[in-house]
Amino acid sequence: MTHHRNARLNEQFKREISQVLSQKVRDPRIGRVLVTEVRVTPDLWLARVFFRSQDEANGPETTKKGLEKAAPFIRRELGKVLRLRRIPELRFVHDTTLDSASRIEEVLREVLPKEDQGVGAGGDEGAGAGEDQG
């Protein structure tokens, strides 16, 4: 039961933090930010907020500094919306999963075409019509 509650809280925090960032935070260092995931500890002491910067002008470190500066304001806004005894501390983490996935795809594209050509040519010749028809 706690797992379901924690999952619901994670989604609710993600939704509310995204809304606060898009509508109320005006720090130019932040720009457009995509909140990809929020992980709240079961005791509500800490929430790790994973983000990706949508602006090319602001790097992840600049965006992170702006988010850390805005964290107390975001917590106050969350306190107005959420009915919880405690609003957790917010820790912002740059999400690199897309970068890792892109790198894996790039490596696979380099490797797979070579294997496909070898398997396709050898597989068609080895299982040729001579064995099936004869």
Structural domains of the chain sorted by starting position, each given as residue range(s) with its CATH number in brackets: 2-95 (3.30.300.20)
Question: What does the pLDDT read at residue 3?
Answer: 83
- Give the pTM: 0.73
Alpha-carbon separation of residue 70 from 35, 44, 93, 132 (angstroms):
15, 19, 14, 70
Torsion over CA: 86, 87, 93, 94 (sign) = positive
3-state secondary structure of 59: coil
Residues 35-55 have pLDDT tens digits of 999 999 999 999 999 999 887
Do 93 and 50 form a contact (C-beta atoms < 8 A)? yes
Question: What does the pLDDT read at residue 113?
Answer: 65
Question: What does the pLDDT read at residue 134?
Answer: 47
C-alpha closest to that of 54 among 35, 37, 82: 35
The pLDDT tens digits along the chain (134 residues) read 578 889 999 999 999 999 999 999 999 999 899 999 999 999 999 999 999 988 777 888 999 999 999 999 999 999 999 988 899 999 999 998 877 777 778 878 888 766 554 444 444 444 454 545 54
Question: Taking the CA atoms of the chain, what radius of gyration do you get in angstroms?
Answer: 24
How far is Cα 62 from Cα 125, in angstroms, rounded to an integer? 57
